[in-house]
Amino acid sequence: MKDTTVLARCNLYAVLGAIPHLLYLDPDAAALVRGKNIRVGFSVKNGPKATLIFKDGEAEMVKGIEKCSIKLWFPSAEKFNSMIDGKGSPIPVSGFQHIGFLLGAFTKLTDSLSAYLRPEPEKLQDPAFFERSTTLMLYVIGRAIVQIGNHDRVGMFSASHITDGKIKLGIGDTLAVAIHCKDHHLVFNAFPNDCGVTSQMVFDSLQTARDLFDGNINAIAAVGMGQVRVSGMISQVDNVNRILDRVAIYLA
């Protein structure tokens, strides 16, 4: 079962939280907001709050909704999740002069993100699209692991067995994210280095990562075949993998 508030946290911090990475990876997406200087706040009643800050073709997400150019309010987690699924509309409560940005550039941006995260099979035949899509999925999954490990009942149980340290999730030698654990609380790091890594799980290729993300291969079997390298404190990786199973349920 899914907790709707945890799903809202995943949708806000993990899915919409991938927009800064999208702008970095896709020049066409960045062009949609180039020259824009606007802050879009999302406030879910009894749920998460965050602001997407757009500036000159780049973006960052911060917690809280202070100093927003336009603020979107959702009366429940269910309403916010419906918007992410394309079945509902946000309620602006301030910044009405920026409605044009919301209905124009921002909507196109989220459509582009959705195309990468839920791609048509034929689009994956394009190597550039495949790389961007799989890279974005790694960022989304890493961020979702943190939300589920910190807030989902089952995920929190797994996190309670993760000792302090830094767990690296990588693809090849150049792409990686990390999960930092301190007192069983998880924090996401989009640009980690190898300093202080206590365990890691590294996929040998984008294709292997994609197959695992899509549920086409089994992680244990992939380790046995040498497609996934696990090292360091194995119990950390094992419990992160248990949370990863929950990510598949929330973001399916």
The hierarchical CATH code for the domain 4-118 is: 3.30.1050.10
Structure pTM? 0.94
CATH 3.30.1050.10 positions along the chain are 4-118, 134-251
Average pLDDT value for residue range 185-192:
94
- For every residue of the chain, DSSP letters joined together read ---HHHHHHIIIIIIGGGHHHHHHH-HHHHHHHTT-EEEEEEEETTS-EEEEEEETTEEEEEES-TT-SEEEEESSHHHHHHHHTTS---EEEE-GGGHHHIIIIIHHHHHHHHHHHS--GGGGGSHHHHHHHHHHHHHHHHHHHHHHHHHSHHHHHHHTTPPSEEEEEEETTTEEEEEEEETTEEEEESS--STT--EEEEESSHHHHHHHHTTSS-HHHHHHTTSEEEEE-HHHHHHHHHHHHHHHHHH-
* Mean confidence (pLDDT) of the chain: 94
Query: In this structure, which CATH number among 3.90.1150.10, 2.60.15.10, 3.30.460.10, 3.30.1050.10 belongs to the domain 134-251?
Result: 3.30.1050.10
Which tens digit of pLDDT belongs to each residue from 4-46?
A: 999 999 999 999 999 999 999 999 999 999 999 999 999 999 9
pLDDT at 34: 93
